[in-house]
Chain A
Amino acid sequence: MGTSSADVSTPARVATTTARPRAEARWRRPLPWAAGALVVLACLGLQTQLYTGQERTVTTIFMFVALAQAWNIIGGFTGYASFGQVVFFGLGGYTTAVVMYHWQWNFWLALVVSGLLAAAFGALIGLPLLRLKGHYFAIATLGVAEGMREVVTNLPDLTGGGAGISIPTVGPGAPTAYLGNDGFYILFLLLAALAVLSAGLVSRSKFGLALRAINQDEAAAGSMGINTTLAKVAAFTLSGFLVGLVGASYAFQQVTIFPERLFDVDITVLMVVMVVIGGSGTVLGPLLGAVALQYLSEYLRQHYTNLHTFILGAIIIVAVILLPQGVVNYAREAARTRDFSLLRNVRRYRL
């Protein structure tokens, strides 16, 4: 998260995640990875307890965990807030749909190709777009996403256009059997695990350090010898790859896809909301944010059928005002400084 603005009170925040003031016991280091593996196993166990409707909800949670983590790589670590991340989602989804519908490819092959295509697109547009900064980058990526949706809508022979395209799942035309709710649960769980793993690896590596340096002060990072263009494009490409994989899986799950849904700007906004509320620039933050927000919106929708959007909006406002740095960052700082005051939070960022 951008510490380039007023926050000068905790300069050590970046340092705490990589270098420790005292030597870490060797057995502690693999702890986060073990914890992660445990969570994956636990989720598999959870599957036996869920009904199909709940299973779908949890599957959607996994999907957003993966999306949020992917956004975090370019938006949280690097500080380049992309508002067009959904373009990779849609590209991945449509690539899968098109190759499965027109040429009867196997889904697993389509999945890999979709991810790679999304990554290639990311590299292609990243090069010119990442020269822009701040809001302009955000809007440019938004423009790309919206533009791509329009392009997809206007190629009806290839993509079905506004009428949508259906992946064949029954009968002899179907290249891969439909995975079913259980299958998709596992697929999205694996994708979420992959995303968290990637974010974790990036976070702890020199690459991650480079990204954080770019976030704090790009000019200084450049003068320290970091190839900022390469680092930024690599982050953007990686993020695009992960989102593309998720989009491909989503397309297969939905069977029939439409451009308005696969390129829906709401999906990007949700990614951003989850990362920011959870705590951007951390690995745990987007995870918690995705779980909390998706579960909350599902719960509200079921129990407050008429008012759920209204209540969700109010909760977001309150969360942003009281915890602007996100839950995880707040918790870490509060644990470290023993200061749990939410009011201090408000005082920090207000005018």
Chain B
Amino acid sequence: MRLSTLVVITSACALALSGCGSKGSAQSAAGSDTLTLGAAVSLTGQLAREGALTKEGYELCQTKVNAAGGVPVGDKKLKLAIQYQDDTSKPDTAAQLVEQFNDKGVKLILSSYGSANSEAQAAVIERNGQVMADSAGADNKIFEKGYRRTFAVLSPATEYLASIVKSIAELAQPKPRTIAFVSADDGFSKTATEGGIAEATKQGFTVLPAQYVPNGTSDVSSALTKLKGQHPDVIVGSVHLVEGIAIMKQAHELGVTPSGGFGESVAPPTPDFVKTLGGQAENVLGSSQWTETVKGKDKYFGTAQQYSDDIQAKYGHRTDYHNAEATAACLALVLAAEKAGSTDPNKVRDALAGLDTDSFFGRIKFDPSGKNVYKPMSVIQIQDGKAVTVWPTEAAEAKFVWPGAKQ
């Protein structure tokens, strides 16, 4: 024990001595000719796929803004620089990284992916006086806590299924009578389900009791078997990609064929959905935060179609709405800095709160709680292996195909 004791005493003295000096000043964010944003994204872990798409969105924003000469703040043009860190898909790490950005003087933050991470980050943002543009945390709960420094560019969770229900109510001939919801049990999915059930009841549909499945499961067979006996006209899934694909595959295996087909919240617009399901994905409805047919343009990215071409050119894959919402969050911060004429977080915060602008993403404006309730969600449908917008009708690029009409 003598050796160990010696080691301990020496290191203790070293630690104690380090406490005697004074703390150096916190580093200030880069030079005064750059606008530095901090982004903790999920590069590894469960959310790695969506995190990678989010990072692509942020990167494209940086490229295009700098290609246009930078952000005009006051009388200078600042170069946009985004610093990345990996939060390993864990909310507490995401929050910790926001603190570390704060230490380095980076006060303007772009959110991580998902409601859990964004919620954790929002709490820290509020305490530190930073400002965050939320690109992917849609759960309404985040905005019911009285936070004033987090602004979400995407439509809130309740809209995901409500928009699908609205599209069915508006465009399906003949109208179906019963709707069944299958929901994962995480916060975001449950909020979306609540929104969907509320809208369905409002529209006059009979809503069967919702079936809940464990989050992230690839086996939804028990929920489907239970629903098979109840013969719903439409099955709507409030789930993520894994469960979404499982619903389609297992429904096919078990012979669950509702006359009105299926709708799902997050999965159908993603390329993986069609790739893995092939023909089984046909006519599935999905809700998307953004599609290429959205109306609106801005000075950095042009129209939605132009944005889509840029992503295709830079990354070689079809644009996912996760790319678009990330770029939109970055755009919001850039425009707010320009509007405020400064990079001071309080001025940027006020500028964000008062922002009302058109963009490739649609309208970006925030209600007092920080949600973007001014941008509608789009409903897409898989037709011939492609996701095409079918609702709202002003932005539709194809006619809504109702499987129930073939009866």
Contacts and interface: CB of A to CB of B under 8 A. Distances in A.
Interface string A41-60: 11111111111111011001
B103 interface: yes
A60 to B, nearest CB: 7
Contact of A46 (B19, B85, B215): B19
A82 B85 CA distance: 33
B200 to A, nearest CB: 21
Interface string B82-108: 001110101110011101111110000
B86 A305 contact: yes
Interface string A328-351: 100110010000000000000000
B146 interface: yes
A163 B8 contact: no
A170 B96 contact: no
Given A43-B15, A170-B146, A153 B185 contact: yes
Nearest to B87: A301
A42 B99 contact: no
B21 A49 contact: yes
Interface in A302-345: 302, 305-306, 308-309, 328, 331-332, 335
B96 A53 contact: yes
A35 interface: yes
Contact of B15 (A42, A166, A181): A42
A161 B141 CA distance: 14
B96 A57 contact: yes
Majority SS at the chain B contact face: helix
Contacts of B146: 170-171
B5 A35 contact: yes
A89 B400 CA distance: 51
B5 A166 contact: no
A109 B135 CA distance: 39
Contacts of A284: 4, 8
Nearest to A24: B1
B21 A32 contact: no
B116 A308 contact: no
Interface string B167-192: 00000000000000000111100110
Nearest to B27: A51
A268 B292 CA distance: 46
Contact of B23 (A43, A48, A164, A258): A48
Given A48-B19, A53-B102, A163-B186, A305 B84 contact: yes
B18 A45 contact: yes
Contact of A38 (B1, B3, B13, B92): B13
B12 interface: yes
Contacts of B21: 49
B224 interface: no
Interface in A272-311: 284, 301-302, 305-306, 308-309
Contacts, number: 139
Contacts of B214: 150, 153
Given A42-B16, A46-B18, A54-B103, A328 B4 contact: yes
Contacts of A49: 18-19, 21, 23
Nearest to A47: B19
B20 interface: yes
Given A38-B13, A53-B99, A308-B44, 13 more contacts: A32-B5, A42-B19, A45-B15, A45-B19, A47-B19, A49-B23, A164-B187, A254-B120, A261-B90, A301-B86, A302-B85, A302-B100, A331-B3
Interface of A: 17, 28, 31-32, 35-36, 38-39, 41-54, 56-57, 60, 150, 153, 156, 161-164, 166, 170-171, 178, 180-181, 254-256, 258, 260-261, 284, 301-302, 305-306, 308-309, 328, 331-332, 335
12 contacts: A35-B9, A38-B16, A44-B19, A46-B18, A49-B21, A49-B23, A52-B103, A53-B99, A161-B185, A164-B119, A254-B120, A305-B84
